[in-house]
Amino acid sequence: MREVEYRSHGVPLEDYELTRRDHRRQKESEEIRLAAQRMADEDFAKCQADPAMAEHRRQTFEEVAKLISSFERHDHEIMRWRARLYCGHIVETQAHYSHSDPIAAGAYTKRCPECEVEDLTIVAYEPIGLLGERPEPPQPPPSQLRKRPTRAELEQRVAALEEENKRLRAKPSP
């Protein structure tokens, strides 16, 4: 696991006051959400008019869903964050440990569980810690832990095997 320097912004979260930049980011987020909804509605109308397109889209979504669900998520790779939303409520969010802050990880907006408003921008954040402890690396099997024999030990072993070979050959067969 590579080392990452996690950043905080607007700490303590409870005392953070919104800035002009925060208001601008929230407004941009709302505009983006509305534009995306318009595009999705237009695309949905096209799919409704063309059953072949709708079927192809459904199959593609199924393949993507299978691919996403096939990835293993390890708790020691997930960083937990406390984040203050534009509405003022503080929530917990998660992101892959390789990101230095939740916004860099793509958690630009969240749904507030308290006031139930969608797409609220994250205005302040602080790292909490990894979701789980990193497991100990597996120990190699005992056979791999043995040291390599010295030349003297190998010569002794060869001599013992030659002696046993001589003894077995001298033994009369039944």
- The pLDDT assigned to 8 comes to 96
29-76 pLDDT per residue, tens:
999 999 999 999 999 998 889 989 989 989 999 999 999 889 888 999
Q: Which two tokens stand for residue 53?
A: 């397109």
CB atoms within 10 A of CB 79: 23
Per-residue pLDDT at 145 exceeds 70:
no
Going along the chain, which residue ranges are E strands? 78-85, 90-96, 109-110, 120-130
Give 94-138 pLDDT, tens digit per residue: 999 999 999 988 877 888 999 999 889 999 999 999 999 888 887
Q: Phi, psi at residue 110, to the nearest 5°?
A: -145, 165
Which pLDDT does position 173 carry in this prediction? 67
As given in the structure block, the two tokens for residue 62 are: 């199924």
Q: Is the pLDDT of residue 80 over 90?
A: yes
